[in-house]
Every structure is written in structure tokens, then in C-alpha cells.
């Protein structure tokens, strides 16, 4: 599963401050919203918990909640480890988060619309024009194209961390094809199956209506004039690492799970090949990247897309969710400007802040960063997955010197952030509980309205001291509870 | 429904049915191998069965002589041979996985755990795997799969394509088993060959027809009645007539605007068997009859594919 988190692959030994513990106060007592759970946990015999953990593993395998591992033997499918200790959020914290997420995604959608129309934010000088227009994720094909409701990022996965002061901050916006929501739903199902008693003792806000909300959201952005829109989910196929999620969501919404070969374009309209002949399609919830969508416009070698799709799209005959070209708004080089977008488009101040970010094209920021390189993380703005990254506290003097040279030569290619102390939550490691670092990915749906199912996917770094919650690097997941009272 | 989805459902059920048919054949021969003095008859039966199933070449690449134990393991568990029971279970699961959203979760979990168990069994494989137990298990899993299909699936197109796959495969399989035993069913056709009655019981047991035979005929086993039961009995679930009837009725339920000729051919096959008499079939020669029948089953499979499963781009 492509749960890529741009967190910093370092050990907490490098952290200057102590991380925030989600469950315990500094004196070891439980935080109020964890009191009842902690009591229950203390009452459980260790054998019962061990047996429940084994049961969860067996069930995940049988149901086939797995992600495919590339380049391995047939049938190489792995489980994402599931931890039975939930991450609990009190209602008041959630309400604040929810407000901040909605605000942020509204601003991001306004930004994408603006960029592909009048570009007022560039004219106003809030963001340097070349940052946007020279970005490889900017799609000139989208210039002047109107999409239903002006919505581009219909499904957004916003990665949230909690810093050492207990403040929530946005680490990254995922506006292309964010994944992981199926784990949010399956984790809840698993918890209710393993520990039903916990749910009668706690008022946990339900999440299982997510597929209904998603379908309603997708139908609400159908091309104008379509009374009863047909929605399909476009997947790259059974060998894609997130295939389970694609199949799961299509089934839960009761829509067809299609591959590129199942669709074709005729007279600027999209059809799917069925046993009863061609059937018109109105909305495509696509789970493949822009580059693969239409071999006539983007990558000509793509076998996953639909030739002619962009023509139908530009003609307004089909809705693609998320829209083409949203990547321009979730790029690392644009991220530092999101708080300013919120002010520019909504006239509000951001409810949830960013992680403090130095933009090295600014001389003052550059000077500060050059003076503090051993304490900071420096990222190349177009780099992904840890390439082109300097982790100050873990780097050698020679590496720092080499990076210093590159920064001085091309400062506009870099941003810098402090090393982050992600908050921790007690997690099973072998047979005992130990604090492990976590983050949170809520899923924000935009259509007629902006909606969020309470909670999201909590990812946990299972290795002691690790700050990497990525599933490909030993990350696991937890059920996430928002308590209603 | 999507043509590709129908295609996967159709092949999913064909592979499960094929796994069951092979398990039945292995089971019958395995039991025979436990009887004293079965040597030559058993080898002869294995040879003709492998010929009818086109398995001989792949087997000969691995072994020089027909050795019952080796045949059983080859047909059951050979991971590299695409026609083995093991490979059929894998293919059934791969097809199911491609359309897991169109299956009930019970059906998907049944096929998935069948495959996971088969794989676990094949990897911790001992020197002498218990073949009897394995084929018994395969039959149970196939029964379970069919039961879950019938018990949980909507009676919509997905169901009908699943059933078409099952019955086309079964028709093919029964016809091939009959082909393997045609010398025993037409006495005198092969000069100098004396049929061995124990082969008839292998044949009947492989098709769950042994007890049925006794109940229907209350008589000693005679070749003409065996053929009658397996070809023309409408109430015999694995007979050619029964399979054709099911294929025809499921085809009618998914009819589209290019499938008329396919339906006509399926209907013609059903009518031909429905009104046929055994004497006519033996008069034209059983081998020739079976050969023609297999060709028609193949033709129907091709036509189903082109009408429903893989329509041309602008169809």
C-alpha cells in the first residue's frame, strides 16, 4: 500500500525534546479520555490479549486484507500489522481538527481552481509564479477547463502529526490518489469483533458509513444534466499494491471496479464494455496517477488508461475524481504556502498550522538554515521517498558540507524543517506494551459539501524509537476512536 | 455487468469444477490401487484417462513409466503443471481475486482459504503426501464452494455466468471420462479386448454414480446402462443431458442482442440429447458420438467468450 509519509527516517535519540504521549500524562497517569480504556486494559489477562492478536492476524489473512508486494513470487501478499490498542481522540480535539481540515481542503480546492483559471494568487505575488508553472505536476492541459462545482480534490488524505507541545500540525497534503481508508474501516470492524465489550463501554463515533458518504459525494459532482449518474472505480488491476482497497470500496459502494481495458471513448463520451453492450459512464473515481490516464496525452506507453479520456473530460462529458492536475497543490514546494492560501482565499487564519518550514529561496531562511544544518532536516522540493534529503542530526560532517554547497548553488530547490517528535501511543511489541510513534490520516471528502468521517487512519512505527510509519518500512495501523462523550 | 467480470466468474467456476473432476478421477483410481491384483487394469485405466485429458506429454516429461503413485502426485500437486488440481485451485482463486467485489464475501473467503490451505499443504509437503485425504478435501471444498455460490449469490448475471462455467466444464469432463472408458462401454468394438467390470465401478464412482446406478437399475452393471445413465439421464447431475440443460437455461437468462446463434446451438444440443435413444448412439458409434460432443462443447465455450466475455472494441 502506498502509504508514503514524508516523515523523517531517524531515531528518536536525535530528538531535542520528549514526545507527547497520547495515553499518559508525564506523571504516568492516564489522560482523561483514556481512563476507562486503561482500566479495561489493566484487567485483561495477557493470554487473552495474545490470543486476540493471533485471531486478528488469521482473520486478516482469510479475508485477504493484504497489499501486494512488487517483484516477488506469485501470491506474495502481506498483511499490514494491526495493533489492538486504539488511538483515542476526545471530542473537543476532533472538533478542532475537523474545522481545520475542512478549512484547509477548501483553500486547496480554491487554489487549484485559481491556478487553472485566472491565477490571482500568482498575480498578487503570494506564491512565486515559477514555483507553480514550472512544477512538473502543473498540467497545462487543464488550463481553462471547468470542472463540476469547481472541485478538484474530491478525496484528500491530510497527514497530521502531534508535536512535543501537543499541537496538531499538518505534515503533508495528499491530493492525488490517497489510500488507506479501507484499513480505517477494516480496523474498526476487527476491533468490534475482537472486543465488543469495549464498544458498549465507550461511545465511539461510527465510521462505517464512509462508503455511502463517498458515493454520495461522487454522484454530487457528476457532469451537469445527468440525473442518475453511473460511477465507476478505475484500478490498475489485481497486481496493484492497493488493489484490496479498490475492490473493497467498489463493492461497498456497489459500483463497477473497472480497468482501463473495460472503458472506451466514443463521440467524446466514456463507455464501459458490458455483457449487454456499451454502457455510459459519468463519474470515474480513479486510483491511477495522472500520467497513466490517457496514453494519447500523457505517457504513450500506458496500458492502464483510456485513449481519448482527456478529450471527453475537457468536453465536460465525464467527471474524473480526483481531477487531473491536483498534484500541483500537494507538492513539497507548495506546502509552505498553504497557510497563506487560507488567508488569501478564505480570509481566515489557519486553525491547524504547518510544521515550521524554512523556504530556502528566501535569503533570511537560507542564512538561518545554513547556520543550523546539524539540527535540521533539509528536503529537495521535488524529491520523493527520502531522496535528496539531509537529516542533520544523523549526517556526517562531510555530508553536511556537501549539502551546504548544493544549497548555496540552488537554494530554490530546498526547504528545511525541524526534526519532529511525533507523539507516541502504547503499542504491543512482542508481549508487552511500549510507546511507539504515530501519525493520523483523516480523509476529507469535497463535493456539494465538505465532509469527514470522524477519525481516520492511525499509522504506527512499530520499531522501537523509529519515526517511520510507512507500511513498507515496518509501519502498522491502529483503530482510531473519536469519543462522542 | 462488465464483460471482464463475467469472464473471470466463468473461469473461476470452470477451474473449481475442473479441480473437482480431477479429484474424483484420482480418488477412483486411488481406491482401485488399494485392491489386490489391480496392477494391469489400473495402469491401463490411468493411461487412457491421461490420454483423454491430454496430460500424457506433461507427465512423460517428468516420469518414464506410468506409476500410479507418481500419476496421483502429478495430477494432484504438481505446482509447475498448469493442469494439476493445485494449479486449478490457484487459477480459480486468481480469477476470484480479480473480481472479488462481485462475489459475496462468503464466496471469496471460501475460495481464498481453499487456496491458502492448498498452498500451505504443498509447501509443508512430506515424502508421501496422503493423496486419498487430499482429493477428499478438494471434493469437499468444491462442494462447499458450490453450496456457498447457490446459497449466497443473487440470481443475476454474475450467477448465471458462474453456472455456465460450471456446467460447460462438467459436460466436458464427463465426456472425457467416458472417452477414456469407451472400450469398456462398447463390448466387441475392440476385437480381442475383454472389458474388466472393475473399470465400470471406477467410472461410476468417479461420477458419484455408483449408488445411483444400483438404485435406478437394481441390476448388475452392464455397459449399455452405464452409458445410458451418464449420457441420457435427465435426473443424473453429472450426465451430459443434465449439463446441457443447465447450460441452455443459464444462457437464456443472460441473452444479449448478439447471442441468438449461441443459444440456438445450446438448445439444439439439449434437444438432441433429450430425444436421443441409446441404440442410435451405439449405432453411430460411441467414440464418434463423444468426439462430436466434445467438439460442440468447445464450440459453445468459444461462442460464449465472443458473445459476452470479450466483445470487440466498438461492439
Residue B222 shares a structural domain with residue B123:
no
Q: Which residue has the higher pLDDT, B201 or A189?
A: A189
Mean pLDDT across A272-286: 95
Task: Name chain A contacts of B159, Cβ cutoff 8 Å.
Answer: none
A429-444 per-position pLDDT tens digit: 877 889 999 999 999 9
**Burial of residue A388, with CB atoms counted within 10 A of its CB: 0-12 exposed, 13-18 middle, 19 or more buried:** middle
The x, y and z cell numbers of residue B278, run together, are 441409446
CA gyration radius for chain A? 23
Condensed to tens digits (0 to 9), the pLDDT of residues B42-100 reads: 888 899 899 989 999 999 999 999 999 999 999 999 999 999 999 999 999 999 998 98
pLDDT at B220: 84
Distance of CA A424 to the CA centre of its chain: 19
Q: Are residues B133 and B262 in the same domain?
A: no
- The residue ranking higher by pLDDT, A6 or B228, is B228
Q: Where are the domains of chain A?
A: 12-355+420-482, 356-419
Four-residue CA torsion sign, A365, A369, A372, A376:
positive
Number of H helices, E strands in chain B: 16, 0
Which residues touch A132 (CB under 8 Å, ≥6 apart)? A115, A119, A122, A138, A328, A334
Estimate to the nearest angstrom the gap between the alpha carbon of A307 and the chain centroid.
Answer: 29
Query: pLDDT band at A28, cuts 50/70/90?
Result: confident
Residues B282 and B187 in one domain: yes
Q: B32 pLDDT band (50/70/90 cuts)?
A: confident
Mean pLDDT to the nearest integer, A66-95? 78
Same domain, B142 and B11: yes
Mean pLDDT computed over B186-204: 68
Taking contacts as CB-CB distances below 8 angstroms, the residues of chain B near A259 are: 4
Q: Which residues contact A328 (CB under 8 A, 6 or more apart)?
A: A112, A115, A132, A135, A137, A138, A139, A334
Q: Cite the DSSP H helix spans in A169-265.
A: 181-194, 196-201, 210-219, 243-253
Angle, CA A283 vertex, CA A277 and CA A287 arms, to 5°: 100
Residues B203 and B81 reside in one and the same domain = no
Choose the final residue of a domain: B153, B177, B195: B153
* C-alpha atoms less than 13 angstroms from C-alpha of B263 in its C-beta half-sphere: 13
Q: For testing the chain A interface, which of B99, B101, B156 should be mutated: the one with the most A CBs within 10 Å?
A: B101
Over residues A17-30, mean pLDDT: 90
Between CA A459 and CA A5 the distance in angstroms is 10
ipTM of the complex as predicted: 0.79
Ramachandran class of A423: left when φ > 0, alpha when ψ lies in -120 to 50, beta otherwise? beta
Please give the average per-residue pLDDT across B118-146, as a whole number: 87
The CATH code belonging to domain A356-419 is 3.30.1490.270
Mean pLDDT to the nearest integer, B139-156: 96
Question: Do residue B1 and residue A256 have CB atoms under 8 angstroms apart?
Answer: yes
Q: Which of B3, B101, B315 sits opposite A250 (nearest CB)?
A: B101
For residues A138 and A140, give the distance between their C-alpha atoms in angstroms, rounded to a whole number.
6
Give the pLDDT of residue A70. Answer: 52
Q: Which residues in chain A have their CB less than 8 angstroms from residue B314's CB?
A: 264, 266
pLDDT of residue A3: 36
Cell of B101: 467485489
Return the C-alpha cell found at A137.
Answer: 505536476
The predicted pLDDT at position A76 comes to: 60
Asked whether residue B117 falls in the same domain as residue B187, the answer is: no
- Would you put residue B162 in left (φ > 0), alpha (ψ -120 to 50) or beta? alpha
Q: Do B315 and A273 touch (CB under 8 A)?
A: yes
Same domain, B148 and B184: no
Are B138 and B187 in a shared domain?
Answer: no
Chain B CB contacts of A74 under 8 Å are 90
The position carrying cell 491502529 is: A478
Question: Structurally, how many domains does chain B consist of?
Answer: 2
pLDDT, residue A14, reads 58
**pLDDT band with cut points at 50, 70 and 90 for residue A303:** confident
Domain boundary among B126, B153, B180: B153
Q: Are B17 and B165 in contact (CB under 8 A)?
A: yes
**What is the domain extent for residue B259?**
156-315
Cβ neighbour number for residue B194 with a 10 Å cutoff: 8
Q: Report pLDDT digits (tens) over A170-222.
A: 999 999 999 999 999 999 999 999 999 999 999 999 999 999 999 999 999 99
Q: Please answer whether residues A248 and A67 qualify as being in contact, where contact means their C-beta atoms are separated by less than 8 angstroms.
A: no
User: CA dihedral in degrees (A342, A348, A349, A355; nearest 10)?
Assistant: -20
Put simply, the answer to whether B157 touches A75 (Cβ < 8 Å) is: no
Residue A250 reports pLDDT greater than 50: yes
- Phi and psi (nearest 5°) for B160? -65, -40
Better-predicted residue by pLDDT, A137 or B193: A137
Domain identity same for B179 and B137: no
Q: What is the pLDDT of residues A126-142, one digit of tens each?
A: 999 988 998 889 999 99
Instruction: Determine how β-strand A457-461 pairs with β-strand A432-441.
Output: antiparallel
In this prediction, what percent of chain B has a pLDDT beyond 70? 93
From chain B, the residues in CB contact with A272 under 8 A are: 2
Closest CA to B222 of B231, B234, B211, B214: B214
Best residue in A57, A275, A280, A287 for a mutation probing chain B (most B CBs within 10 Å): A275
For A252, name the nearest residue in chain B, comparing CA atoms only.
Answer: B101
Confidence of residue B26 (pLDDT cuts 50, 70, 90): very high
Check B161 against A64: CB less than 8 A apart. Answer: no
Nearest to B101 among A62, A247, A275 (CB): A247
Q: Is the distance from CB of A213 to CB of A443 less than 8 angstroms?
A: no
Which of A320, A345, A338 shows the shortest CA–CA distance to A145? A320
pLDDT at B195: 63
Render pLDDT for A358-387 as a digit per residue (tens, 0 to 9): 999 899 999 999 999 998 989 888 754 445
- Do B212 and B308 fall into the same domain? yes
What value does the mean pLDDT of chain B take? 90
Question: What pLDDT sits at residue A343?
Answer: 98
Has residue B191 got a pLDDT over 60?
no
Q: What average pLDDT does the segment A232-248 reach? A: 91
A-B CB pairs within 8 A amount to: 68
| Closest alpha carbon within chain B to A266 | B314
Strand A283-286 vs strand A319-321: parallel, antiparallel, or unpaired? parallel
Cell numbers found for residue A128: 512565486
Test B112 with A266 for CB contact under 8 angstroms: no
Give the chain A residue nearest B103 (alpha carbons): A251
Interchain contact, A62 vs B112, CB within 8 Å: yes
User: Which pLDDT does position A391 carry in this prediction?
Assistant: 82
Average pLDDT over every residue of B27-36: 85
- Range name among A103-112, A206-215, A457-466, A476-485 with the lowest pLDDT average: A457-466
Q: What confidence score (pLDDT) does residue B315 get?
A: 38
Amino acid at each position: 500500500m502506498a502509504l508514503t509519509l514524508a516523515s523523517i527516517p531517524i531515531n528518536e535519540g536525535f530528538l531535542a525534546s520528549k514526545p507527547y504521549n497520547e495515553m499518559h500524562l508525564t506523571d504516568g497517569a492516564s489522560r482523561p479520555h483514556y481512563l476507562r480504556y486503561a482500566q479495561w486494559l489493566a484487567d485483561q489477562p495477557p493470554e487473552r490479549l495474545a490470543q486476540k492478536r493471533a485471531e486478528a492476524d488469521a482473520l486478516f489473512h482469510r479475508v485477504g486484507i493484504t497489499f501486494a508486494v512488487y517483484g516477488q513470487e506469485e501470491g506474495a501478499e502481506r498483511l499490514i500489522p494491526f495493533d489492538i490498542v486504539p488511538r483515542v481522540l476526545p471530542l473537543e480535539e476532533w472538533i478542532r481538527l475537523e474545522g481545520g481540515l475542512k478549512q484547509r481542503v477548501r483553500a486547496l480546492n480554491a487554489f487549484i481552481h485559481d491556478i487553472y483559471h485566472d491565477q490571482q494568487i500568482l498575480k498578487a505575488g503570494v506564491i512565486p509564479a515559477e514555483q507553480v508553472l514550472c512544477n512538473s505536476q502543473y498540467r497545462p492541459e487543464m488550463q481553462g477547463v471547468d470542472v463540476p462545482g469547481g472541485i478538484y480534490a474530491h478525496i484528500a488524505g491530510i497527514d497530521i502529526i502531534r508535536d512535543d507541545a501537543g499541537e496538531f500540525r499538518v505534515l503533508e497534503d495528499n491530493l492525488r490518489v490517497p489510500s488507506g481508508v479501507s484499513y480505517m474501516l477494516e480496523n474498526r470492524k476487527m476491533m468490534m469483533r475482537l472486543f465488543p465489550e469495549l464498544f458498549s463501554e465507550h461511545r465511539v463515533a461510527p465510521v462505517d458509513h464512509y462508503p455511502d458518504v463517498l458515493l454520495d459525494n461522487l454522484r454530487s459532482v457528476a457532469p451537469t444534466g445527468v440525473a442518475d449518474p453511473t460511477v465507476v472505480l478505475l484500478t490498475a488491476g489485481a497486481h496493484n499494491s492497493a488493489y484490496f482497497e479498490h475492490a473493497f470500496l467498489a463493492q461497498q459502494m456497489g459500483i463497477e471496479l473497472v480497468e482501463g481495458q473495460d472503458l472506451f471513448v466514443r463521440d467524446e463520451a466514456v463507455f464501459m464494455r458490458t455483457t449487454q453492450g456499451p454502457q455510459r459512464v459519468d463519474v470515474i473515481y480513479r486510483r491511477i496517477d495522472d500520467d497513466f490516464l490517457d496514453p494519447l496525452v500523457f505517457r504513450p506507453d500506458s496500458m492502464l488508461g483510456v485513449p481519448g479520456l482527456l478529450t471527453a473530460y475537457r468536453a465536460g462529458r465525464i467527471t474524473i475524481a480526483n481531477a487531473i492536475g491536483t498534484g500541483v497543490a500537494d507538492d513539497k514546494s507548495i506546502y509552505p504556502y498553504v497557510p497563506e492560501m487560507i488567508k488569501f482565499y478564505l480570509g481566515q487564519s489557519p486553525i491547524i498550522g504547518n510544521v515550521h518550514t524554512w523556504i530556502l529561496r528566501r535569503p533570511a531562511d537560507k542564512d538561518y538554515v545554513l547556520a543550523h544544518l546539524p539540527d535540521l532536516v533539509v528536503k529537495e522540493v521535488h524529491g520523493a521517498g527520502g531522496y535528496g534529503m539531509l537529516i542533520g542530526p544523523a549526517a556526517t560532517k562531510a555530508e553536511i558540507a556537501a549539502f551546504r554547497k548544493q544549497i548555496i548553488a540552488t537554494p530554490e530547490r530546498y526547504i528545511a524543517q525541524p526534526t519532529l517528535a511525533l507523539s507516541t501511543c502504547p503499542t504491543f511489541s512482542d508481549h508487552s506494551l511500549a510507546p511507539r510513534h504515530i501519525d493520523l490520516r483523516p480523509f476529507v471528502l469535497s463535493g456539494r459539501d465538505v465532509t469527514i468521517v470522524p477519525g481516520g487512519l492511525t499509522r504506527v512505527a512499530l520499531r522501537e524509537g523509529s519515526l517511520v510509519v510507512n507500511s513498507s518500512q515496518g509501519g502498522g495501523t491502529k483503530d482510531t476512536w473519536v469519543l462522542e462523550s | 455487468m462488465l464483460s471482464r467480470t463475467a469472464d473471470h466468474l466463468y473461469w473461476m467456476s470452470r477451474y473449481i469444477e475442473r479441480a473437482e473432476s480431477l479429484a474424483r478421477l484420482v480418488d477412483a483410481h486411488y481406491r482401485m490401487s488399494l485392491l489386490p491384483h489391480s496392477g494391469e487394469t489400473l495402469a491401463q485405466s490411468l493411461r487412457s484417462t491421461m490420454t483423454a485429458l491430454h496430460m500424457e506429454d506433461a507427465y512423460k516429461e517428468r516420469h518414464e513409466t506410468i506409476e500410479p503413485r507418481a500419476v496421483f502426485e502429478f495430477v494432484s500437486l504438481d505446482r509447475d503443471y498448469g493442469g494439476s488440481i493445485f494449479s486449478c485451485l490457484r487459477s480459480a482463486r486468481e480469477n476470484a481475486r480479480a473480481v472479488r467485489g462481485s462475489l459475496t464475501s462468503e464466496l471469496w473467503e471460501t475460495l481464498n482459504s481453499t487456496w491458502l490451505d492448498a498452498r500451505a499443504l504443498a509447501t509443508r509437503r512430506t515424502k508421501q503426501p496422503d493423496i486419498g485425504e487430499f482429493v477428499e478435501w478438494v471434493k469437499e471444498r468444491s462442494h462447499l464452494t458450490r453450496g456457498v455460490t447457490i446459497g449466497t449469490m443473487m440470481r443475476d448475471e454474475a450467477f448465471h455466468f458462474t453456472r455456465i462455467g460450471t456446467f460447460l466444464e462438467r459436460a466436458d469432463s464427463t465426456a472425457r471420462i467416458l472417452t477414456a472408458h469407451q472400450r469398456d462401454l462398447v463390448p466387441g468394438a475392440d476385437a480381442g479386448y475383454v472389458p474388466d467390470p472393475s473399470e465400470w465401478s471406477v467410472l461410476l464412482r468417479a461420477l458419484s454414480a455408483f449408488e445411483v446406478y444400483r438404485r435406478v437399475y437394481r441390476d448388475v452393471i452392464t455397459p449399455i446402462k452405464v452409458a445410458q445413465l451418464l449420457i441420457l439421464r435427465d435426473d443424473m447431475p453429472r450426465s451430459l443431458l443434465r449439463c446441457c440443460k443447465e447450460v441452455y437455461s443459464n444462457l437464456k437468462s443472460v441473452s444479449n442482442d448478439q447471442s441468438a446463434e449461441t443459444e440456438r446451438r445450446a438448445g439444439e444440443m439439449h434437444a438432441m440429447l433429450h430425444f436421443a435413444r441409446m441404440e442410435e448412439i451405439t449405432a453411430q458409434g460411441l467414440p464418434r458420438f463423444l468426439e462430436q460432443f466434445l467438439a460442440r462443447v468447445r464450440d459453445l465455450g468459444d461462442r460464449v467468450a465472443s458473445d459476452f466475455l470479450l466483445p470487440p472494441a466498438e461492439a
